[in-house]
Amino acid sequence: MSDLIKPTPSEKILSSRRRFLKGAGVGAAATLAAPAVIAQTGAIKWRLQTYSGAPLGAHVIKPQIDAFNEAANGEMEIELYYADQLVPTGELFRAMQNGTIDAVQSDEATMASPVDISVFGGYFPFATRYSLDVPALFNYYGLKEIWEDAYSEVDNVTWLSAGAWDPLHIFTKDPIRSLADMKGKRVFGVPTAGRFLSQYGLIPVTVPWDDVEVALQTGELDGVAWCGFTEAYEVGWADLCNYALTNSVTGAWFGSYFANTESWNKVPPHLQELFKITIDQSHYYRAVWYWGGEAKLRVEGEKMELTSIPPEEWSTVVKDAETFWDEIAAQGERPAKVVEAFKKYAATMEKAGYPYR
């Protein structure tokens, strides 16, 4: 008889997700260029910090940076730093703007980007249902031009690209089966979604990313409203939360890449293009990695019990989001354009019907 401990269903699923890392194009840097040579004198050096901690960063950015560094063939090297390693996440934007770091991967809301569309970064309530909604909105409904226009007014920061992350679910130690159950629960979460959900009594709490696990253990936090199932299992939060709310507040997180403009302009065109190509590969890898884990872990993951708020009650939340959208649209011309794009896109998807909505 073997004394080996059999892996749990979630461990098997996570293992398959990690194998994707090795097989996906973004992880296979050798397909991009010949093996890298030793960096020559004068090679460009960058420091990039992401919003994510190391366990999550292994999927949302490290494959891209590894691929870029190998393909750059010694001409350029990017040093990757995870959440709060060089500067606190809330100071990422200013640190990039003043050149302390050269580039950032984050959403606008989390890093306090001083633009009038920052509220849309991260999770904007019910703006999306699926990850493909994000690139569709940016490429075909005008968000790309709106983002470029907004950052054209900011000194020494260049917005490069936006992509989709996972949906937003709420994971807690005690169950949520009604809106009333949200009252008083302290959750780690992203700013805009937290602001919206606070009207139901949920209390958004800000702590450093690496401190979330301890805060859940000590009782400082009652849960997280930060991610989907893939991430909750990957980073270990599913080990500390007992319940998963199936009602999704939105279908995908809006995240972007940014660069210090002076640093960006020092990079030759062929390396700029290489960086943008690896960003696109990262968007693809991340979307598949998240999508492949969400349903499987929701169905087969054994660590959290699923709960749901009844449809008739949840419909009031969806209705409240309409009011929230209009309040944000009233803040200015650009926010109004973004909300109008959301409305137009949602109407198109509804009219298109299956399989779009």
> Which pLDDT belongs to residue 134?
97
Give strand pairing partners of 170: 245
How far is the C-alpha of 45 from the C-alpha of 327, rounded, in Å?
A: 43
Q: CATH assignment of 168-251+302-345?
A: 3.40.190.170
φ, ψ dihedrals at 37, nearest 5°: -90, 170
DSSP annotation string for 258-309: EEEHHHHHTS-HHHHHHHHHHHHHHHHHHHHHHHHHHHHHHHH--SSEEE--
Give residue 32's pLDDT: 37
CA nearest to 282, candidates 63, 68, 17: 63
The span from the CA of 102 to the CA of 95, in Å, is: 8
Which residues is 169 bridged to in the sheet?
227
Provide the phi-psi class of 84: left if phi over 0, else alpha when psi is between -120 and 50, else beta: left
For the structural domain made of 14-118+134-164+254-296, what CATH number should be given?
Answer: 3.40.190.170
Pairing of strands 203-205, 186-189: parallel
Q: What is the pLDDT of residue 357?
A: 79
Supply the pLDDT for residue 8.
76
- In the numeric block, the tokens 């943008």 are attached to 276
What is the pLDDT, as a whole number, of residue 281? 96
Series of mean pLDDT values for 10-residue runs along the chain (357 residues): 61 60 45 39 91 93 97 98 95 97 96 95 95 97 98 98 97 98 95 94 93 96 96 96 96 97 98 98 95 93 97 96 97 98 96 88
Using CB atoms within 10 Å of the CB of residue 131, give its burial: 0 to 12 exposed, 13 to 18 middle, 19+ buried. Answer: buried
pTM of the model: 0.88
pLDDT of 31: 37
123 neighbors 253 (Cβ within 8 angstroms):
yes
Domain spans of the chain?
14-118+134-164+254-296, 168-251+302-345
Question: Residue 96 has what pLDDT?
Answer: 98
pLDDT of residue 25: 47
